Structure 1
Amino acid sequence: MAGVVQERIIPPANTLVKYDNPVLVTTHLGKKTREGSPSKIGTTACKVQSAPPTTDIRRETDEILNGILPPKEWEEDGQIWTQHVSSIPATRLDVINLQEQLDMRLQQRQARETGICPVRRELYTQCFDEVIRQVTINCAERGLLLLRVRDEIRMTMAAYQTLYQSSIAFGMRKALQAEQGKEDLMSAAEELRLQKAELEKNVAELRQRSEQAEIRATELREAEEKKHSEEIQFLKKTNQQLKTQLEGIIATKK
């Protein structure tokens, strides 16, 4: 069974959480071995800082830390490295430095002071993880309680993100439906405009036919009246002639 054979001194990673130096992990029969693995997270009594921690308490604290903040593992040049969170207790100066580092990185990465900002959320998440690490070293119960708070916050944020994405999808569907409905209404309006134009054309044709029919009816009526007047005049003239003839015949007989 192979063990840890080499340590690597590197600058601190781009995170506010304090880690130990990376350790080279060797492999044997396809299985990796590393110094300490996160097992079940148990409960330990709060340690008093005045008394040095025992080996069992320190090992249990390391297991809890590895459970709360799992070690990092990566492969580089065919070698597998692992990096655990630091189990060194934090001092007052460490807390002050953490606050200064947080403020400095917020300014460097130009995080927004208000509103939704992924950068600000990431940095505050790292800061909270570092606070959990510091508290867990002094009292595991407090660390586990803060872990519950952290997980609850993450779950709430995930729920809000899901709700936001669902609302965005719902809004997009409604927008597409509204756009489709708008297109349908525009098509219906265009069809109605065409029908209106066709009906107006029919009305114009019917009005023209009606006017032509009225003109023809007027001409026929005038022609009939003229013919009737001529017939009356002819009959009156014929009647007058017959009357004259009749008077002549009567006068001759006398």
Structure 2
Amino acid sequence: MIVPTDSLLKYDYPVLVSKNTERKSPRSRPLKVSPQQTVESGPVPPPPKPKSPSADASRQQTEEILNAILPPREWMEDNQLWVQPVSSAPCTRMDVIHLQEQLDRSLQERQARETGICPVRRELYSQCFDELIRQVTINCAERGLLLLQVRDEIRMTIAACQTLYESSVAFGMRKALQAEHGMADMENKILELESEKRDLERLLNEQKAKCEAIERREAERREIEEKKHAEEVQFLKRTNQQLKMFQPSHRHGFGNRD
């Protein structure tokens, strides 16, 4: 029999609801039952009847409430339907301590993360909360139903946060795709600007070359003009010196003649 995976929620022994009657071969495999079941009987024998009808009705009502808030597990094997309801046995202080130890051990064995988002830790704590709801419901059905509302509200809040997270991720993906679509236009614009920049740099270099050529020509012309001016100044100085030397001798000759 393929038994579901272990859970922190306490279940009763599985019960065979229906079995395949077509297989009448003596070599067919017998049904696998729990230690408390017999092959002849199939389902688990019902618990002993309570002494008072009110207690029997209260127990039946508690089981109905438990099955409503914590549905039984069902699975098929060889066309045989197996059902495993949650346990309706009252809990003790040791059961709560054992639940705490089992939770800690499961967290370590399944390597659940201590912080952040962890599906494993969330699943284990959800099972632990369901087990607490089961234990409380057995003692007080109204308190168990109130805890059920709290559990459903928490799950709805988590689902809303998950939906918001998924929508934000989808929004981010859409923006990323839009950015990728606009990336080609931006790359073309960058290429155009780089080409324009190269043209402007080439024009700037040409203008710089022209400016340097003009400066060299002007420097050469200025040098020639300065050299010519210096030669004229020297010529005028020599001429002036000669005139100064000639004038006194000329005046002296006129004085002797008188």
TM-score normalised by L of structure 1: 0.62
Query: Is contact 2:19-2:80 (8 Å) kept?
Result: no
% identical aligned pairs = 66
Instruction: Find out whether 1:56 has 2:48 as its counterpart.
Output: no
Provide the rounded CA distance (Å) in 2 between the counterparts of 1:52 and 1:90.
23
Query: Is contact 1:106-1:123 (8 Å) kept?
Result: yes
Provide the rounded CA distance (Å) in 2 between the counterparts of 1:93 and 1:111.
25
Q: In the superposition, relative to structure 1, how do residues 176 and 13 fare at CA in structure 2: closer, same or farther (>3 Å)?
A: closer
Could you give the per-residue CA deviations for residues 172-227 of structure 1, whole angstroms, max 9, x where no partner exists? 122222233333211112133345557888x69x99xx9xxxxxxxxxxxxxxxxx
Could you say what secondary structure the match of 1:25 adopts?
A: strand
Query: Is contact 2:136-2:143 (8 Å) kept?
Result: yes
Provide the rounded CA distance (Å) in 2 between the counterparts of 1:124 and 1:150.
11
Report the counterpart of residue 14 of structure 1 in structure 2: 6
Deviation of 1:13 (Å): 4.4
Q: In the superposition, relative to structure 1, how do residues 52 and 157 fare at CA in structure 2: closer, same or farther (>3 Å)?
A: farther
Provide the rounded CA distance (Å) in 2 between the counterparts of 1:112 and 1:53.
48
Provide the rounded CA distance (Å) in 1 between the counterparts of 2:118 and 2:201.
61
Aligned Cα root-mean-square deviation (Å): 3.0
Provide the rounded CA distance (Å) in 2 between the counterparts of 1:193 and 1:104.
64
Could you say what secondary structure the match of 1:82 adopts?
A: strand
Instruction: Find out whether 1:121 has 2:122 as its counterpart.
Output: yes
Report the counterpart of residue 76 of structure 1 in structure 2: 77
5+ long unaligned stretches in structure 2: 21-42, 44-51, 211-258
Report the counterpart of residue 188 of structure 1 in structure 2: 189
Instruction: Find out whether 1:156 has 2:169 as its counterpart.
Output: no
Query: Is contact 1:12-1:19 (8 Å) kept?
Result: no
5+ long unaligned stretches in structure 1: 1-7, 29-34, 36-50, 211-254
Report the counterpart of residue 103 of structure 1 in structure 2: 104
Task: Give, as a single letter, the amino acid of the residue that structure 1 aligns with 2:187.
Answer: M
* Divergent runs of 4+, >6 A: 198-201
Q: In the superposition, relative to structure 1, how do residues 167 and 60 fare at CA in structure 2: closer, same or farther (>3 Å)?
A: same
Deviation of 1:105 (Å): 0.5
Aligned length: 179
